[in-house]
Chain A
Amino acid sequence: MSDRPILLVEDSPDDVLLTRRAFKKNHIRNAIVVASDGAEALAHLLPEDGSEGLHPALVLLDVKLPKVDGLEVLRRIRDDERTCHLPVVVLTTSNEERDIVTSYRLGANSFVRKPVVFEEFVAAVNALGVYWLLIPAGAR
């Protein structure tokens, strides 16, 4: 399993807590770096001085974020050669079709609507973990 950190871009402290719990329940022990808005996420991934930034195993990206929204963060990740190959899973509360379509068009690897029921979220995180963390990139 990759031991690189997971970057969780999420502005709701409650969701951060529940997501951490879902990872723990799925025995995913990667460090979790939290960015609470889009600007912070970009500062981690794409330092302005052009140096190599954080190189996470997986980016979990909420769509609706303060300052720079999730879809813009995704666009900037794909536009920069330092980050263009990072696996990015877009998380959202809504199931607006336009968000789904835009996410995939911008190069999201996956799109997950955060379920209301926590047990379902744990299951979703399990599937994400197995796919993006457990299976080596070459085998995907």
Chain B
Amino acid sequence: MSTGTAGGRPRVEVGHEQLMALIDHTSAVIYMRDADGRYLLVNHEYERLFRLRREDIVGLTDHDLFPRPIADEFRHNDLEAIARGVPVQVEEEAPGEDGLHTYVTVKFPLHDEVGRAYAVCGISTDITERKRAEEEVRRLNDELEMRVRQRTAELEASTRELDAFAYSVSHDLRAPLRSLEGFSQVLLEDYAEELDEDAQGYLRRIQANVGRMAQMIDDLLHLSRATRSQLRREHTDLSALAREVAHELATTEPGRTVEFRIPDGLSTQGDPHLIRLVLQNLLGNAFKFTGHRSDATVEVGSLVRDGVEIFSVRDNGAGFDMKYASKMFDPFQRLHAASEFEGSGIGLAIVHRIITRHGGQIRADGVPGEGATFLFSLTPSPADWEIR
């Protein structure tokens, strides 16, 4: 190395050995071949990688070192760089200890004084790991997509089965009930004189139970429909729906006075048919469980907690013991004797399913003898968040 100054600047001249040291200490594979493809120079990484010594390689071509298709590819890329006269970037593959490795290679020609390319330099960087990672990501993605498709198909199949099941339930389970009810009625009408009061009472009991069973079948169908019907989110006027439901309830028992307090302007994005079912069940329960009160009040409201809109249905009816609160959303759970309050025990399961399908939550608060409050949201909430 010699130092001098030119134009006042310190100047360092770099010689062949310094350059060799430089290219020997990179992790890239560096080589130079002449226009006929004979090796002129390789770096240390090249020697290490292909377990060859540079003095043995000089003068050989790729066809002496690599399988023919690979050597052909290298030669083709060399010629491409020579023909273009500028650096080209290509992806190449070369055998390694653990199979083929992929390299991204920059090749550029060297020109003599008359502009003729006399050699090609190549700098190759091993990108095998990256390639394998990409390949793995692609494979995992494909697998995931396949699994999603598979699961979707399974779900669709089970929904279809559920659909067929519900249809046959609604049809086949009701048919025998009609016979039971109808022929009990025939007995009451045609054999009234032969049947004493007790016998007639038993027949009426049969009819009452048939009626309950029919109601349970209808509720089960609602539950199934709440699960399988497609959820359509649209603007839903909760105030209007609640008023409709309240009006319907009031007409079922004209003798009762129940004050429904329903404010204007309650609305949400949700499936109006399903939300109507929610209100039918919650307001229906409130109506039912205030049956013994002369000052029955049912209040619908809304509030916002942690940015989540929560709707409420509150009554001053029979209430319930909080230790049963977790059970009440399971199908067929009843907290009151059938003699006290009628019901199939499915209503709140329907409500729970509809709210869950909307991504929302529901909770129930109650005090025996004082009333119950149901709080529910209809939009997905933050992680770990719970209605309180």
Is A139 located at the chain interface by the 8 A CB criterion? no
Interface residues on A, range: 10 to 19
Take A21-B186, A96-B170 as given contacts and tell me if A15 and B175 are in contact as well, using a CB distance cutoff of 8 Å. Answer: yes
- B181 near A118 with CB under 8 A, answer yes
Residues of A within 8 A of B175 (CB): 12, 15, 93
Q: Does A64 belong to the interface (CB within 8 Å)?
A: yes
A94 at the binding interface (Cβ < 8 Å) = yes
**Any A CB within 8 A of the CB of B178:** yes
How close is B162's CB to chain A, nearest CB, in angstroms? 13
Rounded to whole Å, the gap between the CB of A99 and the closest CB of chain B is: 9
Can you name the residue of chain A whose Cβ is closest to the Cβ of B218?
A95
Q: Which residue of A lies closest to B207 (CB)?
A: A117
CB-nearest residue of chain A relative to B177? A116
Residues on A with beta carbons closer than 8 Å to the beta carbon of B185: 118-119
Q: How far is the CA of A12 from the CA of B171 in the complex (A)?
A: 12
Query: Does B210 sit at the interface, judged by CB under 8 A?
Result: yes
Is B171 in contact with A93, judged by CB distance below 8 angstroms?
yes
B174: Cβ under 8 A from any A Cβ: yes
The number of chain B residues touching the other chain, given as a range, is 10 to 19
Q: Does A18 reach chain B (CB closer than 8 Å)? A: yes
Q: How far is the CB of A90 from chain B (nearest CB, A)?
A: 13
Contact check, B181 vs A116: say whether CB atoms are below 8 A apart: yes
Q: State which residues 112-130 of A face B: CB under 8 Å.
A: 114-119, 121
B369 at the interface (CB under 8 A from A): no
The answer on a CB contact under 8 Å between B179 and A18 is yes
Asked if B95 lies at the interface with its beta carbon under 8 angstroms from chain A, I say: no
Q: Is A92 an interface residue (CB 8 A)?
A: yes
Most central of B172, B175, B185, B211 by chain A CB within 10 Å: B175
> Would you call B341 an interface residue if the criterion is a C-beta within 8 Å of the partner chain's C-beta atoms?
no
A116 close to B210 (CB less than 8 A): yes
CA A116 to CA B178, docked complex, whole Å: 5
A94, A96, A115: residue with the most chain B Cβ atoms closer than 10 Å: A94
By a CB distance below 8 angstroms, the chain A residues around B59 are none
Contact with B along A30-45 (1 / 0, CB 8 A): 0000000000000000
Q: Which of A61-104 contact B (CB under 8 A)?
A: 64, 92-96
Q: Which residue of B lies closest to A11 (CB)?
A: B175
B170 engages A117 (CB within 8 Å): no
- Is A14 among interface residues, defined by CB-CB distance under 8 A? yes
Q: Is B214 an interface residue (CB 8 A)?
A: yes
Give the residue of A21, A96, A118 whose beta carbon is less than 8 angstroms from that of B178: A118
Contact status A116-B211, CB under 8 Å: yes
Chain B residues, Cβ within 8 Å of A119: 185
Minimum Cβ distance to chain A for residue B221 (Å): 8
Contact indicator per residue, chain B 164-199, by CB within 8 Å of chain A (1) or not (0):
000100111011011101110110000000000000
The one of B171, B181, B207 that contacts A92, using a Cβ cutoff of 8 Å? B171
B170 contacts A94, CB within 8 Å?
Answer: yes
User: What B residues does A121 contact at CB under 8 A?
Assistant: 178, 182
Docked complex Cα distance between A12 and B179 (Å) = 10
The answer for the CA separation of A18 and B177 in the assembled complex, in Å, is 12
B174 touching A116, Cβ below 8 Å: yes
Q: How far is the CB of B268 from chain A (nearest CB, A)?
A: 24
Interface 0/1 of B7-35, CB less than 8 Å to A: 00000000000000000000000000000
Report the bound CA distance from A91 to B207 in whole Å: 22
In the assembled complex, the Cα of A15 lies from the Cα of B171 at a distance in Å of 13
- The answer to whether B170 and A18 have CB atoms under 8 Å apart is no
Which residues from B are CB-within-8-Å of A92?
171
The one of A64, A95, A96, A117 in contact with B181, judged by C-beta atoms closer than 8 angstroms, is A117
Determine how close the nearest CB of chain A comes to the CB of B93; give it in whole angstroms: 59
A sample of 22 inter-chain contacts (CB < 8 A) reads: A12-B175, A12-B179, A14-B178, A14-B179, A14-B182, A15-B178, A18-B178, A18-B182, A18-B183, A94-B174, A96-B167, A96-B170, A114-B174, A116-B174, A116-B181, A116-B210, A117-B181, A117-B211, A118-B181, A118-B182, A118-B185, A119-B185
A contact set with B: CB distance below 8 Å: 12, 14-15, 18, 21, 64, 92-96, 114-119, 121
